[in-house]
Amino acid sequence: GQNIDQPTEMTATEGAIVQINCTYQTSGFNGLFWYQQHAGEAPTFLSYNVLDGLEEKGRFSSFLSRSKGYSYLLLKELQMKDSASYLCAVPGYNQGGKLIFGQGTELSVKP
Amino acid sequence: SAVISQKPSRDICQRGTSLTIQCQVDSQVTMMFWYRQQPGQSLTLIATANQGSEATYESGFVIDKFPISRPNLTFSTLTVSNMSPEDSSIYLCSVESPLPRAGYGYTFGSGTRLTVV
């Protein structure tokens, strides 16, 4: 089966850097997604990692280590609008394309 | 990436009634996914809807409570039947979709915020 763990909540200061960790256990692996979800809105795609290493996209970067079952999302130069829930998700292996989500990390950015 | 139009965006319903949620996609897709997000929780898959066959339900979800239609490759509906306050959640549809620099990913509808009173 699959299991995904991420911290429930984090707090950071505007302009700072924050790292949101995600560990996963899966019977197979088809990549890992990060989504951002503002309160009352649908999740929006941030990143997809299928190979080990760091993928950088502007202020957001995502890292994957398949051997450790570990990923993180790195947010730089934090802005107040980055306050949101960040969801780590993996496709269910041989399960018809569904996504398995972690419980989400609620990030609060303070001035 | 695919664009999904989901409606209604929100509704307040009386217990014992039913609500049908619609999702329209701007391109043909094989599978559509329906998720539930209870207050303060992450997303849980309800079922996968394929065109031309019955939906596949996840453990804990049954067709009588959440009937799904998939009449063609661009459209699906989810009905929440005989509602109770415990059904108050956000319901989202999702499709697999090409995404820039990612090969493929999953795009979500804007969600339906359901409150049962």
Which residues, given as ranges, of chain A have pLDDT below 70? 1, 93-96
Report whether pLDDT(B100) > 80: no
Report whether pLDDT(B30) > 80: yes
The predicted pLDDT at position A96 comes to 65
pLDDT bracket for residue B2 (50, 70, 90): confident
Q: Tens digits of per-residue pLDDT, A80-104? A: 999 999 999 998 766 667 888 999 9
* Cβ of residue B38 closer than 8 Å to a chain A Cβ: no
Cα distances from A84 to residues A27, A45, A51, A54, B45, in angstroms, run 30, 13, 26, 22, 21
Residue-averaged pLDDT of chain B: 92
- Best residue in A34, A50, A86, A98 to probe B by mutation, most B CBs within 10 Å? A98
Cβ contact A102:A5 at 8 Å? yes
The predicted pLDDT at position B78 comes to 98
Report whether pLDDT(B1) > 80: no
pLDDT bracket for residue B41 (50, 70, 90): confident
Cis amide prior to B8 (ω within 30 degrees): yes
- Range with the poorest average pLDDT among A82-96, B30-44, B49-63: A82-96
Residues of B in contact with A64 (CB under 8 A): none
- Best residue in A45, A61, A90, A105 to probe B by mutation, most B CBs within 10 Å? A45
Residues of B in contact with A97 (CB under 8 A): 31, 33, 48, 96
The predicted pLDDT at position A27 comes to 80
pLDDT (average), residues B93-114: 84
Please state, for a pLDDT cut of 90, what percent of chain B lies above it.
79
- Range with the poorest average pLDDT among A36-40, A58-62, B23-27, B88-92: A36-40
DSSP per-residue codes, B12-65: EE-TT--EEEEEEESS--SEEEEEEE-TT--EEEEEEEETTSPPEEPTT--TTT
Interchain proximity B92–A42, CB inside 8 Å: yes
The predicted pLDDT at position A95 comes to 63
DSSP per-residue codes, A54-66: EEEETTEEEEEET
Strands B89-99 and B103-108: antiparallel
Minimum distance, in Å, between the CA of residue B42 and any CA atom of chain A: 5
Q: What is the chain B residue with the closest CA to A92? A: B45
